[in-house]
Structure 1
């Protein structure tokens, strides 16, 4: 769960498991090993989210030659999610998912997860927002592909439906994002616009520096896609962090939070012997 004095780091597995439970478990292990707080998946009811025409469209993948074969191939079963749930409890790491439709909300509610994540792609779906809100489970909401006016409507919709936003994420939905697209100052804009809501950062940029800067600008949570290797087959791997990058990200964020301190300037006990040694006089 999110702590006010820390940064809640979410490793988004998303669909980077490529439909393979073993890969999903390797990514969970990686996230736990480097010190992430949670892993996140994506859940879709394929024939609800996509039209029949979209599913029939030609698209080559390891699962076949149609878009439908790909979409169905990437969905994990109830039994596989039960194993994910068991494994995350064993490793003591949070997990939750982004439902892209109401049936997927019901699916995820079968598990005792701490949050429902609203993906940027779903953030303007009023019916889905209301449905998620009525579950009573706290929401994590990404805001990619939205301007401030749209974000205000999203927050209002959730509030009117009785929902709770546990974190609102500044986000740019390009994969991977260019530096000039990140607009990290948007974190402070969201803090000013929604003073009662914690603000986080969901990033898709190469490297880790912007995500650490986001924390310095006040982000209370960071979400990043992760992969075993960026050259793996799949649409999201190129915008994901490999193990070494994820390890650096977590290390640098944790180091920053320690170094940030409480802002109270005082003479440290560890400075006193240095002061006695270096100061010729102390007359102030």
Structure 2
């Protein structure tokens, strides 16, 4: 009796594991094809399977025959037409990225964002192109995003540089980033009213300080006059930063304190993990 119950338990456990594994694989496949042409393919296959089921249920033999032929030869057509997407999925599977955790993907995206910011800031600093980049943290910045031009674009070095090129429509104002994306450009930020700010600082640095006084964002300012790189956070201004220090600040902001290298010169809370 107990032996039979044990067999039944292991059978149910095996079925549960089987269902969970299939669900996990399907979920990962959906994440791979999301944003590609394959999404439309999945919709088309769903329609064909639905028509095939209905034709079988209602006894529509001619329609059922046509749907059967589509399913039979459609698999070969799918492999030929969507070869790039299938190759990308197999490459990700070979690199182990298909089954990586969501947290690992978020960290990878954050590192790409940091690298794009570093390269763009380096380029603009060398050529003395003024720039103002705010990275949202816990405090929402919707009020300031609405003052600019919506972009909702992936952060890239080329896009950031192009935004701040002089005499272009978006160069005057700040870029506001959220979740590794550029939410808006040409945004207006509040100017700091601190009377102890150095007179040599212009409007761009006053705006960087002003937004840091009312939110917990991190703001990068590149000076047109000197090419110096400054960062503001929690009302503090850090001037003439080198690339390594800027990288550590960005890692603290986007990855959190635990994943960034220690830096004794500054100590402020980064984005909370999870």
TM-score, normalised via structure 2 length: 0.23
TM-score, normalised via structure 1 length: 0.22
Say which structure is richer in strand. 1
Say which structure is richer in helix. 2
Structure exhibiting the larger radius of gyration computed from Cα positions: 2
The structure showing larger relative contact order (alpha-carbon pairs under 8 Å, at least 6 residues apart) is 1
